[in-house]
Structure 1
Amino acid sequence: MSPTTDADLSDFVFVRRNDGLPIEEIPFELVERKGVGHPDTMCDAIAERASRYYSQYCLEHFGRIAHHWFDKVMLFGGESDLDYGHGELVNPYTVLFAGKGAHRCGDTPIPLADILRRAAADVLSEVTTGFDADRHLVIDCRIVDHQGAGRGRSRYRPESHDDLVAIGDPSLVSNDCNLLHAFAPFSRLEQAVLRIERLINGPDFKARHRDTGWDVKVFGSRNGEDFSFIVNMPFLASDISSFDHYLSRKAECREEVVGLLRDTLGGDPAVLFNPTDRNGRPYLTALGSVADTGDVGAVGRGNRVTGLITPMRAMSIEAPAGKNPLDHTGKLYGVLAQQLARRLNEMTGKPVETHLFTSKEAPLDRPDQVVVRVHGLQDGGDEEQKIRAVVAEALANTAELTREIIVTGVTMW
């Protein structure tokens, strides 16, 4: 697609000064992150991995992508036998895939069941300890190829590769009505919450603390300049010999988190670590997640595209993971809004919000409205025109964004 002209842009791209208080100046702020081992985050990752693997398979075998959406994934947790020094998953996880997609292209089957199983197995192996797909995973595939109202038969039942869609096809339009929001930069609290989870679930920490689990949940609050945090982090039951041992290990891990916060925020922020053990129950799991003990996860119930849950910010409720990267604007524009916010913030040096609205069937390079709100926007300068040019370029390059999502992968949780 070629960039839209400036005259066209004025019809749907609106650049405005944001006269509200910047996030750092509001008196109270709350932020949450569900870590990579949380059942909801697991589902986001599994759904997106399934879409990527499916898209990659179609590109390799047909040169184009079959329409699909796998964004209705649920994970039903297993059952564990837990005690000090012992943790075993005795009943497996069940991952339910519900959605739509092509099962074949003409007479050529698409190995959908194998693709879905590989996606779930790969993700769960990365965000648990000791996961064995042969023993610990059951797949329930409910992906159908039924046709939608007004759609041709070829949408989910392609008769040949000619019925599939190429990346960048000029006929691509928005698959739905969507409203997306993003912002940049992150506040100090937002950065701190994200860094805590990434520290604990990062490779260096896990190498030093192999007895720690992955189902990390972090809450942060700021009251004026007073910061406080709640961190939930499980331990592997097989590596914990007693409650005293658990408390000792918890104290060691807590000190690393406190050190991170001292380095990034200064002072001595309050950190409540594993508050559930105040009743004498240690936070122990078999593989590192509450999914080991029957908890259930679902796509879209956790982090937004930012990786955070930010109730003090404009925040989309779209669930992007698993959606078709060709034309599901709930996915494409969600990622695009965040990339635009970061780029515009870097360009202007000012806090930026981006808001995109599109109706169904709108061309991908021309959503109904794009609103960019900038703190401290100067009237009468060329800043507004530069912002419009960046927006136009981004909208003209949705095909490259699709390729990035499929080939490189974009984390949306």
Structure 2
Amino acid sequence: MISLHKYAPPQFEVVERKGIGHPDTLADGISEAISRSLSGYYLEEFGQILHHNVDKVLIIAGQSQPRFGGGSISKPPSVVVGGRATKTQARPLDEIIEEATATLFRNTVKNLETFLVEPRVEEGAPELRSLIGKGANDTSIGVGYAPLSPTERLVLELEEEVRGIRGVGEDTKIMAVRIDDGLNLVVAAAMVDRFIGSREEYEDARAQVYEVAKRRAGQGSEVGVNCADSGDNIYLTVTGTSIEMGDDGATGRGNRGNGLITPMRPMTMEAIAGKNPVSHVGKIYNVLAQRCAREIAELEGAREAYVTLVSRIGSPISQPLLRAVRISGDMQLTAAREAEINHILDYWLERSGDLVEEFVKGRLVLY
């Protein structure tokens, strides 16, 4: 199904990004790290990736006492890992889960040293295990769109600049609201107390975040940084992430597959991270829809492309229940152009297996 529409820029946009150290993003990262690790063990031991879905990670915040110059953690955060996974002979599942979680934390949150892990993963149902490599193991929706708007690109790119400021931790959140030509940015940046010696140094770091965001947002924009600060209540942390005390996290509550939360665009409720990369269409279709949309948006006359894929459990991944394309622009839908669009869809749907290595090697951005 292909539909054409005249392009009309939206009067307003709302775009959000939860940074790499945000509790929800960390939960996504843990889910995906465990999936990649399990996949490696399965490939080594069985020659194929077996059934697993570890997309039910919950991070429970701990307790901390931040203070200028360096505070302390009185109760570490804990990670509860739920889901289903096939056992291996090489190592117990609990060990694989604990090691993958520790590696993710170590590589993502530089100042987090202590945490607890509670693996609660059991083997999956036989009927779902039997679908590995044979067809879709769920009835799910995948959506993608292209290109990103200037506001979306700004939000996606700003996080790294904010984290580059001395004293800023990994837990950031950026919300952009554009109304016509006016842009309002709200930035939350967790400060790491060991790098902040006084209130003056805190305010200096906050001012630097403001300057970076203001420069990217441009003249006439409004920018707020750590807007909840009041009196002695400021966004000062020991570790640079609010899982030490301020907030919990869960897989699937954060960024979508393109790294953004965009309620004005098509989105699904799927938790992409942690699903197995061989047969879970909740993961595969969201990536394929993005790739299809990017190629279609580059066709002559297209300004924007939206792709929706819906699976039917048990059916081949290459044969979705629905494959729909919505194009905005001045394109003429000739028979040749329709065939070209369908060729793009066919190409990616038939090559879903080629994504497996990209998933396992961590080459795909999923959150």
TM-score range, shorter chain: over 0.9
Say if 2:320 is the partner of 1:367.
Answer: yes
Deviations 1:48-69 (A, max 9, x none): 1100110011112221112111
- What SS does the corresponding residue of 1:180 show, helix, strand or coil? strand
Say if 2:298 is the partner of 1:346.
Answer: yes
Say if 2:311 is the partner of 1:324.
Answer: no
| TM-score, L = length of structure 2 | 0.94
Equivalence for 1:304: 256
- What SS does the corresponding residue of 1:75 show, helix, strand or coil? strand
2:208 to 230, 239, 252: 252
For residues 324 and 160 of structure 2, what CA distance do their matches in structure 1 show? 32
Say if 2:223 is the partner of 1:271.
Answer: yes
Say if 2:183 is the partner of 1:196.
Answer: no
Equivalence for 2:357: 403
- What SS does the corresponding residue of 2:229 show, helix, strand or coil? helix
Name which one, 1 or 2, has greater alpha-carbon Rg: 1
Relative to 1, partners in 2 of residues 1:74 and 1:316: Cα closer, same or farther, differing over 3 Å? Answer: same
Q: Which amino acid aligns with 1:352?
A: A
Equivalence for 2:288: 336
Deviation at 1:342, TM superposition (A): 1.3
Deviation at 1:256, TM superposition (A): 2.0
For residues 90 and 52 of structure 1, what CA distance do their matches in structure 2 show? 32
1:56 to 40, 43, 48: 40
1:174 to 136, 139, 146: 136
Between the aligned residues of both structures, percent identity stands at 32
For residues 283 and 55 of structure 2, what CA distance do their matches in structure 1 show? 10
Say if 2:188 is the partner of 1:236.
Answer: no
Relative to 1, partners in 2 of residues 1:57 and 1:316: Cα closer, same or farther, differing over 3 Å? Answer: same
Deviation at 1:109, TM superposition (A): 4.6
- What SS does the corresponding residue of 1:388 show, helix, strand or coil? helix
Deviations 1:206-254 (A, max 9, x none): xxx3311111000001111111100000111122222222112211232
Counterparts of residues 105-254 of structure 1 (less than 5 Å): 108-132=89-113, 136-147=114-125, 151=127, 155=129, 169=133, 172-201=134-163, 205=164, 209-254=165-210
For residues 164 and 379 of structure 1, what CA distance do their matches in structure 2 show? 38
Q: Is the 8 A contact 1:64 1:164 kept in 2?
A: no
Say if 2:13 is the partner of 1:32.
Answer: no
Equivalence for 2:4: 17
- What SS does the corresponding residue of 2:166 show, helix, strand or coil? coil
Q: How many residues of Structure 1 are paired with residues of Structure 2 in the alignment?
A: 365
Name structure 1 gaps, 5 residues minimum.
1-13, 156-162
- What SS does the corresponding residue of 2:285 show, helix, strand or coil? helix
Deviation at 1:268, TM superposition (A): 3.8
State the 4+ residue runs in structure 1 displaced beyond 3 angstroms: none
Q: Is the 8 A contact 2:20 2:26 kept in 1?
A: yes
Name structure 2 gaps, 5 residues minimum.
none
Deviations 1:319-353 (A, max 9, x none): 11100111000000011111111122234453100
Q: Is the 8 A contact 1:76 1:294 kept in 2?
A: no
Deviation at 1:379, TM superposition (A): 2.9
Deviation at 1:391, TM superposition (A): 0.6
Equivalence for 2:348: 394
Q: Which amino acid aligns with 1:34?
A: K
RMSD of the TM alignment (CA)?
Answer: 1.9
Deviation at 1:27, TM superposition (A): 1.2
Q: Which amino acid aligns with 1:210?
A: R
Q: Is the 8 A contact 2:35 2:276 kept in 1?
A: yes
Deviations 1:296-341 (A, max 9, x none): 1000111111111111111111111100111000000011111111
Q: Which amino acid aligns with 1:111?
A: P
| TM-score, L = length of structure 1 | 0.84
Q: Which amino acid aligns with 1:183?
A: Y
For residues 355 and 112 of structure 1, what CA distance do their matches in structure 2 show? 35
Deviation at 1:131, TM superposition (A): 2.5
